[in-house]
Chains A and B, each alone.
Chain A
Amino acid sequence: MSDATEFAKPRASVFAGLRLTRTAIFAGGILLFWLVLALFGPWIAPHGEADIISTKTFAPIGEGGWLGTDKLGRDVFSRLIYGVRTTLLLALVTTVISFTFGVTLGFAAAILKGWFDIVVSRIVEAFMAFPSTLLALVVIGAFGTSITVLVLTVGLVLSTSVFRVSRALGYDIGVMDFVEAARARGEGTWWILTREILPNSMAPLIAEFGLRFTFSILFLSGLSFLGLGVQEPAADWGLMVQENVGGLFLGSSAALIPAACIASLTVSMNLLVDWFQQRQQGETVLEKIDQ
């Protein structure tokens, strides 16, 4: 019987299995670097985030601290290290919130269909009709600038896009034969969602997570820059740009350094997502070759 032959399936090491490209290693390295700094920041940073170390404000690189001082004479280097903590943590929390709402509602809409789908979809569309910054401005303006409000608002704004992605995935996978087979067996909605649909949505959801994470960093930095985000004396990269933007005219790089850091973080994340998506696609190309 020709269809009963054994397959030889080589199992390579974990890293070979990842099929890393040079770009992916580079981007991953940068992300890892920031992550380590975020975790061990307080032990690494020479000064506290709010400590004023010099009477000289906007000191150039090398004077005062490694990377100079900011508008109040605080150490830019230390604030940068504390800042990555805030930035990454906030981005993570907001993205997780957006996924909790977006994925639950998106899949529920795809499975339950009917009026639930219509109502939720219309609400989400209404939200998306507003420019996201404007939306955040209104909400934060109304409720004040606390971290809770900030996190919830950004999470909500991000969740609209997550909802759309999850709903589309749910619809696409929900009509596949293996889901039909589970339905025909008599499985309940919970099983179908958690065992059949979700495992098969993981790859696109992971990519979406990366993209939302990037967007969240940019969005939060933007809000901080507008003065609606993280408040002083806490350190946050977006906030640091805003605080020190006046120093640009005095030749200080205190605003440019955090901006460059934001760029390095978001670009790396995007590169990593690209690599991941290409890798997933690569798998489908392989299937085509096999035909």
Chain B
Amino acid sequence: MSDILTIKNLRVEGRPPGGTYVPIVKGVSLNVAKGEVLALIGESGSGKSTISLASMGFARPGCRISGGEIWLNGRDIMKLSPHDRHALRGNEVSYVAQSAAASFNPALRIGKQVIEAPLWHGAGDAATLTATAVDLYRKLDLPNPDTVGNKFPHQVSGGQLQRLMAAMAMSCGPDLLILDEPTTALDVTTQIEVLKAFKDIIRDQGTAAIYVTHDLAVVAQVADRILVLKNGEMVEEGPTAQILHDPQHEYTRTLMAAVRPAPHLVDHVDASAAQAPVISARNITAGYGALTILSDVSVDVPAASVVGVIGESGCGKSTLARVVAGLTPLREGEIKLDGKVAAPSVKDRPRDTLKDCQIVFQMADTALNPRQRIGDILGRPLEFYQGLKGRARLDKVGELLELVDLPRSFASRFPGELSGGQKQRINLARALAADPKVILCDEVTSALDTVVAAGVIDLLKTLKDKLGVAYMFISHDLSTVASFADEVVVLYAGRVVEKGPSKAVFSPPFHPYTKLLLSSVPEMRQGWLEGVADTGEAKAASAGSVVIGAKGCPFSNRCTHVISGTCDTVAPPLRVLSDGLEIACHLPTGELPDRGL
């Protein structure tokens, strides 16, 4: 068997400044054969990226490879001179990072950057290399392969840029390709095109690949073998099918159990029409500067219920939350909180109004002031809204900590001394300190590992039952929304395209965009990707990119059902179907896409 890469007993250490080295990777061995894709999975901090970097003979600043052998193409690269080792990169090994945007120079044309490495390594002259690159663009299914190289990075969509990044990595014809969470930053709809392109090109070129991710459904699509890591140690290794369906190790089973279930529908309580909604946003138009992001958005959040807001990145989900919270003042429309009209700007809202509606941010890390102790972070809203001081305040902080399943002793810690999941719990506790009627949760779980995220969702459910608080739950994770939300709003390019009770939204008839969104959620089933990527819907969707402020239906440039002449000129109004379901589409009810998942 021809192994491209063999790692034996790799040990990597990292050193806190002034401290001593502590092991990060503790004796991991692996091998990757030609044309094989090995997936590294594990929670954050398990050493996935460290290992993938080490296979290029590279360690992050502050880290060192302290032991083991790394054989690439029959040579131990740790024995090479730094110069020779450097020459390997972009020649025999290529690396694709999480964010393509960060890897491209915005000031240079894409084509020039794609051929830069092979040109530097003297693999040919510019003309032949460009021809090879165009060939790659075609294989990666990029629109206009002949001219895309002349564009600048900002002129193509995120998914296209990620595929161009793959072209850049493949341009030198590497033997080993390292993909570090290459689709994590992408939307599900874009993820499909990128995954498919990666998979095809790896097969086509017979490249060996290491695929780092925490998303098991993605792994099921691309990997031949899986290596499970925990705290820098190998837990289990085996063929994809075996790890997915018959995991041997306890830890792997926990990982599998925490995987989001495929969207399954639960019966939710119907919002009681008797009570006034805690949030009632009517015909909101808002944006930043000259840019209008949200147009004519109406959302109601009934008391003690969960309203999910879904849609792809940049569609205005966070903007909606900010508008409701008054952080981004609305331009048109009206917001009522608990039946009372709220001023557009947070500055003009009285404390009673502010108290009722709290916001929890996406990035747990940045939402807590690193210089304040947890006790002060939680104590401030108590003092601010309820005037609690001294002993009473201290007691209440303890109660809040217990409410979110953290020990009282955490009050004396700084945020830096907490893990991601713990920080997010503190964020929740801070919102709860105001004793609110509704909490705006902006992607509260998307920065967390699956296991930890599942814990936070459970906590949200418990709090809802215990305290009767309502949530506006913003997420791009459809399965979570499907199993958690009572009602769902689907946003596309700043407009509501579909809304209604969760069950009605997640079952036919669908808005064409909702349909695309739902069918794009990766399933654990191997071979799912091939099935879905070839549908007309996926093809049409990857051809265009999101246009904000389109004249007609915002989805018209990516929709297979488009009625030309109508859809691209007239914006479809929301129309009420049965069961309180509302859909904004020109298609007659009978012709809306139906067969679902």
Q: Which A residues form the contact surface with B (CB < 8 A)?
A: 1-7, 9, 19, 176-178, 180-181, 183-187, 195-196, 199-200, 202, 278-279, 282-283, 285-286, 288-291
A178 and B327 CA atoms in complex are apart in Å by 13
Other-chain residue from A200, A202, A279, A288 in contact with B369 (beta carbon distance below 8 A)? A200
**Across the two chains, which residue of chain B brings its CB closest to A289?**
B14
Whether the pair A282, B369 counts as a contact (CB closer than 8 A) is no
B451 partner residues in chain A, CB cutoff 8 A: 2
A221 and B53 CA atoms in complex are apart in Å by 51
Whether the pair B369, A178 counts as a contact (CB closer than 8 A) is yes
Query: Is B209 located at the chain interface by the 8 A CB criterion?
Result: no
B49 partner residues in chain A, CB cutoff 8 A: 291
Q: How many positions in chain B have a CB within 8 Å of any CB in the partner chain?
A: 51
Whether the pair B359, A181 counts as a contact (CB closer than 8 A) is yes
**Across the two chains, which residue of chain A brings its CB closest to B367?**
A177
A149 and B551 CA atoms in complex are apart in Å by 64
Known contacts A290-B45, A291-B45: A3-B419 contact under CB 8 Å: yes
Query: Is B118 located at the chain interface by the 8 A CB criterion?
Result: no
Whether the pair A4, B24 counts as a contact (CB closer than 8 A) is no
A4 and B346 CA atoms in complex are apart in Å by 34
A199 partner residues in chain B, CB cutoff 8 A: 369, 371-372
CB distance from A113 to the nearest CB of B (A): 12
**Across the two chains, which residue of chain A brings its CB closest to B362?**
A177
Whether the pair B422, A4 counts as a contact (CB closer than 8 A) is yes
Query: Is B18 located at the chain interface by the 8 A CB criterion?
Result: yes
Query: Is B144 located at the chain interface by the 8 A CB criterion?
Result: no
CB distance from B293 to the nearest CB of A (A): 17
Other-chain residue from B15, B18, B44 in contact with A19 (beta carbon distance below 8 A)? B18
CB distance from A202 to the nearest CB of B (A): 8
Whether the pair A177, B361 counts as a contact (CB closer than 8 A) is yes
A7-B418, A200-B371, A291-B49 are known contacts; what are 10 more A-B pairs with Cβ within 8 Å?
A3-B422, A4-B405, A19-B18, A177-B361, A177-B363, A177-B367, A178-B367, A184-B346, A185-B380, A289-B63
Whether the pair A19, B359 counts as a contact (CB closer than 8 A) is no
In this complex, the member of A176, A181, A183, A186 whose beta carbon has the largest number of chain B beta carbons within 10 angstroms is: A181
Other-chain residue from B14, B60, B349, B366 in contact with A177 (beta carbon distance below 8 A)? B366
CB distance from A183 to the nearest CB of B (A): 6
Query: Is B120 located at the chain interface by the 8 A CB criterion?
Result: no
B174 partner residues in chain A, CB cutoff 8 A: none
B45 partner residues in chain A, CB cutoff 8 A: 290-291
The main secondary structure of chain A at its interface with chain B is: helix
**Across the two chains, which residue of chain A brings its CB closest to B12?**
A289
The main secondary structure of chain B at its interface with chain A is: loop
CB distance from A282 to the nearest CB of B (A): 3
Known contacts A184-B326, A285-B61: A3-B452 contact under CB 8 Å: yes
Query: Is B525 located at the chain interface by the 8 A CB criterion?
Result: no
Query: Is B297 located at the chain interface by the 8 A CB criterion?
Result: no
CB distance from A33 to the nearest CB of B (A): 25
9 interchain residue pairs of minimum CB distance? A282-B17, A3-B421, A289-B14, A19-B18, A199-B371, A177-B367, A177-B361, A177-B366, A186-B354
Give a binary string over B339-366; 1 marks a CB under 8 Å from any A CB, 0 the rest.
0000000100101001000110111001
Whether the pair A184, B358 counts as a contact (CB closer than 8 A) is yes
CB distance from B250 to the nearest CB of A (A): 13
CB distance from B410 to the nearest CB of A (A): 10
Known contacts A286-B16, A289-B14: A186-B367 contact under CB 8 Å: no
Known contacts A178-B367, A180-B327: A285-B62 contact under CB 8 Å: yes
CB distance from B446 to the nearest CB of A (A): 14
Query: Is B169 located at the chain interface by the 8 A CB criterion?
Result: no
For window 253-304 of B, CB contacts with A under 8 Å fall at none
Whether the pair A285, B368 counts as a contact (CB closer than 8 A) is no
For window 32-64 of B, CB contacts with A under 8 Å fall at 43-45, 49, 60-63
**Across the two chains, which residue of chain B brings its CB closest to A181?**
B367
**Across the two chains, which residue of chain B brings its CB closest to A2?**
B451
CB distance from B51 to the nearest CB of A (A): 13
Known contacts A177-B366, A183-B327, A199-B371: A279-B452 contact under CB 8 Å: no
A282 and B62 CA atoms in complex are apart in Å by 9
A7 partner residues in chain B, CB cutoff 8 A: 417-418
Whether the pair A3, B17 counts as a contact (CB closer than 8 A) is no
A154 and B381 CA atoms in complex are apart in Å by 43
Give a binary string over B434-470; 1 marks a CB under 8 Å from any A CB, 0 the rest.
1000000000000000011001000000000000000
A290 partner residues in chain B, CB cutoff 8 A: 45
